[in-house]
Structure 1
Amino acid sequence: MKQNAIIFPKEYLPGATDNFCSNELIVKNISIEKVWKNLINPFLWPLYYKNSSDINFKNKEDRELYLNVIFNFKTFGFPISAKVIEFHPPENNQPARLAWHGWSEGNEESKIDVHHAWLIENLSHNRLRILTQETQNGNPAKELAQTKPNPMINGHQDWLDGLINFSKK
């Protein structure tokens, strides 16, 4: 069975940006719908991902992510504004896809620009694959890329592990 891939806008292609991280889990006996529900509600993120806080939406009545929604959160010490640019719930046996363009305001030294994407797909034998990848541009991204251990790889693995454990409840 061919596995799907993240779709990157040209300006955010991995290898052409200042930083890239990729994390993936394949697990058994978990519902794609439950994982999706827990991912698209950013107010749940701090319950399973300690590196996420201060979530709010531009439209204060919004409670979940959807195409073109603008939201804010804090992660890795950066206040991030984000706009969802890809949103495909799990339907018709197609993979679920979620991606946002995120940015942090600042001067040339402190601003960061990111593309963060998620792909969730059912695999054979009752397995579920979750892939998350992020590309980044800016001086903070260059610093993160050189840091060992890599805080992006480790942080996103915590996010994946937390999402799976939270979704099993």
Structure 2
Amino acid sequence: MTTQNAINWPEKYLPGTGDNFVSNEVIVQDITATRVWHYLTDTSTWESYYDNVADISFPHGEGPKLKDDLVFSFGTFGFPPLDAHVVEFQTPSEGVPGRLSWTAKQDGKPAERLDVLHAWLVEDLPRGRVRILTQETQIGEPAAALADERPNPMLNGHQAWLDGLVGAASK
């Protein structure tokens, strides 16, 4: 039997309790969690493999590599740049999955407010495989509007991010 790790969810963002939730996962061979981690945590590489992200900035002058408690902002899904904060950061190692989570928020009128937790889990599996899981819970009217679209743009967008991440890490 194989046991796989799961995302660590703060109560506020528990899947199924927000306005929009998606889960995307790939398991591939011939790359490692360490290699994937490089492309996931170095934001200077994001736009080279994922076309749904823009305007990445670091208001406190840090970056481009993500780390615990880092504040950054980025645009995605047509929203103005979201204020993001890394709330979980664990580099993958032997027998330990990589964990990355950030909150991202947009303030304003109720129709504009958005509050999300985007989480990643990257782990090596037996037989030279790596598993990449990304899940996101969104709260707010813009999130509910995305959830009503078919297909859900966030589901497709995150799959594109996974596919691009695997492609970049495979080179």
- With structure 2 as the length reference, what TM-score do the two structures score? 0.96
| Partner SS, residue 44 of structure 1 | helix
Is contact 2:32–2:129 with CA below 8 Å preserved after alignment?
A: no
Q: Distance in 2 between matches of 1:144 and 1:124?
A: 36
> Which residue of 1 is the match for residue 9 of structure 2?
8
| Alpha-carbon shift at residue 107 of structure 1 (Å) | 1.0
Bigger drift between 3-12 and 59-68 goes to 59-68
| Alpha-carbon shift at residue 54 of structure 1 (Å) | 0.4
Q: Distance in 1 between matches of 2:117 and 2:6?
A: 14
**Counterparts of residues 101-112 of structure 1 (less than 5 Å):** 101-112=103-114
Is contact 2:49–2:161 with CA below 8 Å preserved after alignment?
A: yes
> Which residue of 2 is the match for residue 37 of structure 1?
38
> Which residue of 1 is the match for residue 141 of structure 2?
139
State the number of aligned residues: 169
Q: Distance in 2 between matches of 1:121 and 1:32?
A: 5
Q: Distance in 2 between matches of 1:11 and 1:108?
A: 18
Q: Distance in 1 between matches of 2:125 and 2:158?
A: 22
| Partner SS, residue 6 of structure 2 | coil
> Which letter maps to 1:74?
G
- With structure 1 as the length reference, what TM-score do the two structures score? 0.97
> Which residue of 2 is the match for residue 69 of structure 1?
70
Deviations 1:132-157 (A, max 9, x none): 00000000000000001110000000
Task: Give unmatched runs, 5+ long, in structure 2.
Answer: none
| Alpha-carbon shift at residue 124 of structure 1 (Å) | 1.1
Q: Distance in 1 between matches of 2:157 and 2:141?
A: 19
Task: Give unmatched runs, 5+ long, in structure 1.
Answer: none
Query: Quick one: percent identity of the two aligned structures?
Result: 49
Q: Does 1:120 align with 2:122?
A: yes
| Alpha-carbon shift at residue 43 of structure 1 (Å) | 1.8
| Partner SS, residue 100 of structure 1 | strand
| Partner SS, residue 148 of structure 1 | coil
Q: Distance in 2 between matches of 1:39 and 1:80?
A: 18
Is contact 2:20–2:147 with CA below 8 Å preserved after alignment?
A: yes
Is contact 2:88–2:100 with CA below 8 Å preserved after alignment?
A: yes
| Partner SS, residue 149 of structure 1 | coil
Give the CA RMSD over aligned residues: 0.8
> Which letter maps to 1:110?
E
**Counterparts of residues 72-111 of structure 1 (less than 5 Å):** 72-78=73-79, 79-111=81-113
